[in-house]
Structure 1
Amino acid sequence: MTQPIRWLQDEIADRMLQKLDIVKIDVKDILIVPDFAGKHLDVLAKRYPNARTFSITETGVSGFHMWRAKAMSNWRSLFTGKTHPLASYASSGRFDIPDNSVDLVFSDLLLQDLADPKLFLQECWRVLREGGLIAFSYLGPDTGKELRSLELSELRLKNLLSPWDMHDMGDALLAERFSDPVMDMEYLTLDYEKPELLLADVSALKLMQLAPSEIPNMNVLPQKLTLEVVYGHAWVIGKHLAKAKDNVAYIDLNQIGRKTRSDSA
């Protein structure tokens, strides 16, 4: 995401937090990925006032901008949390935080930009504690369907890196040992008065390869853009158990309680 689409990140983050209103969880540490200087910081700080925040900051957001936003929302996070750039995660595939270190991973509109979201889920599983929660949103495969229906080669459209629908993601969560996944989806329709505004958003959403200024004929463009927004959350339960293979769960013998003579008395 880039600055022209910041309002969308704020709106989707707000909807994510509304969906978490019914979730009961004791949060001491939060990982926000990607973190941006948006309104979600203030809401998270109010909901979890004593939580420490780990930030994987969005590309293009200055350190000072993030510092100022966090100072305005929760000054405590300036001294107890850690900040790392999203580019570092993109290159290494790992969050620079220890295993079992957070209770909540909050990810707003990132997964559609990842080549393999399964690796992201695996890394979230690594850093989440037993009983922790992953909450996320991303753009689904129907995003920008009006543009694809035009079949204009000069637009040089490109697919999302991971065009997963909510069923694909639900299956992936279960495959990566997350429990009780809850998936939801909605369509948002954006209306535009000028094609230049539409192209600015299409570019910010990374749906085409050309810069907006390179489009030869903008009069054929639609006046609306559909976004498929997928939401989900899932729990980390039974983290000490070995990962199942071929639909069979392998459990270490040391994890099985032994019945003693006194137990049967």
Structure 2
Amino acid sequence: MTQPIKWLQDEIADRMLQKLDIVKLDVKDILIVPDFPGNHLGAIAKRYPNARTFSIAEEGVSGMQMWRAKAISNWRSAFASNTTALAAFRSSGIFNLPDNSVDLVFSDLLMQDLPDPKHFLSECWRVLREGGLITFSYLGPDTGKELRSLSIPELKLKNLLSPWDMHDMGDALLSERFSDPVMDMEYLTLDYEKPVLLLADVSALKLIHPTPLAINEMSVLPPKLTLEVVYGHAWAIGKHLAKAKDNVAYIDLNQIGRKTRSDSA
């Protein structure tokens, strides 16, 4: 997300937190990816006052900016927080965290921009502790559907890198060993008084290649933009089990308890 659309990221983060109201989870460590100086920081700090946060900051957001935002939101946990850059994850594909190190992964409007969301899910599985939770949102394939019917050669549309609907994502969660995935979706409609404002948001959402349009071309742009927002969460349960192959899970013999005579006595 670029700066003009931060309000949307904040709004969706608030809706994600509302969905967590019914979830009971003991949280000591949280990974927020991508993180940004927004209202969600105060809400998360209030909900999990003793938790340590690990931020993978969005492009254009410095570690100092995140530190200051966290200090304002909750000074008690600011000094126990850690920030790295999203660009580092994009290049390496790895979170700079050890295995089994967080209880909650909070991901707001990221996966539509990833070429391989399954790898992202796999990495989340790696860093989550047993019984941990991933919660996320992303833009679904109907986002910007009004633009596809336009006949403007200069309007160079871009496809979302991951145009997955919620059923695709549910299947991906199960294939990456997450349990009990819950998916839902809503349509948001943004209305615009001026075409230039629509273009600014469309560009910020990475739905077009930035190219200038003539006045007569801008006049045929729609006065609204549809966003398909997909939400989901799933649990990391059974991490001691080996990954299933051909629908069969293989368990190390050392993980099977052996009953002794004293146990049965």
Paired position in structure 1 for 2:149: 149
> After superposition, where does 1:92-171 map in structure 2 within 5 Å?
92-171=92-171
Return the alpha-carbon distance in structure 1 between the equivalents of residues 258 and 64 of structure 2.
56
Return the alpha-carbon distance in structure 2 between the equivalents of residues 62 and 237 of structure 1.
34
Paired position in structure 2 for 1:191: 191
CA contact (8 A) 2:30 2:106 kept: yes
Cα offsets for 1:57-115 (capped at 9, x unmatched): 01011333222211110112321111001001110001111111100000000000000
Paired position in structure 1 for 2:42: 42
* 1:215 maps to 2:210: no
* 1:83 maps to 2:78: no
Return the alpha-carbon distance in structure 1 between the equivalents of residues 61 and 186 of structure 2.
28
Return the alpha-carbon distance in structure 1 between the equivalents of residues 147 and 106 of structure 2.
30
| Residue range with higher mean Cα deviation, 186-195 or 152-161 | 152-161
Question: What is the RMSD computed on CA atoms of the aligned residues?
Answer: 1.0
- Tell me, which stretches of 5 or more residues in structure 1 are unaligned? none
| Residue range with higher mean Cα deviation, 28-37 or 61-70 | 61-70
Q: Report the secondary structure of 2:75's partner residue.
A: coil
| One-letter amino acid of the counterpart of residue 34, structure 2 | P
Q: Report the secondary structure of 2:79's partner residue.
A: helix
Identity, % of aligned positions: 83
Paired position in structure 1 for 2:63: 63
TM-score, normalising length: structure 2? 0.97
Return the alpha-carbon distance in structure 2 between the equivalents of residues 242 and 132 of structure 1.
17
Q: CA deviation at 1:23?
A: 0.1
* 1:72 maps to 2:67: no
Aligned length, in residue pairs: 263
Paired position in structure 2 for 1:2: 2
- Tell me, which stretches of 5 or more residues in structure 2 are unaligned? none
| One-letter amino acid of the counterpart of residue 143, structure 2 | T
Paired position in structure 1 for 2:247: 247
| Residue range with higher mean Cα deviation, 231-240 or 78-87 | 78-87
CA contact (8 A) 2:63 2:84 kept: no
Paired position in structure 2 for 1:53: 53
* 1:234 maps to 2:234: yes
Return the alpha-carbon distance in structure 2 between the equivalents of residues 63 and 113 of structure 1.
22
Return the alpha-carbon distance in structure 2 between the equivalents of residues 243 and 208 of structure 1.
39
| One-letter amino acid of the counterpart of residue 177, structure 2 | R
| One-letter amino acid of the counterpart of residue 14, structure 1 | D
Cα offsets for 1:138-173 (capped at 9, x unmatched): 000000000012243321101100000000000000
Q: CA deviation at 1:257?
A: 1.7
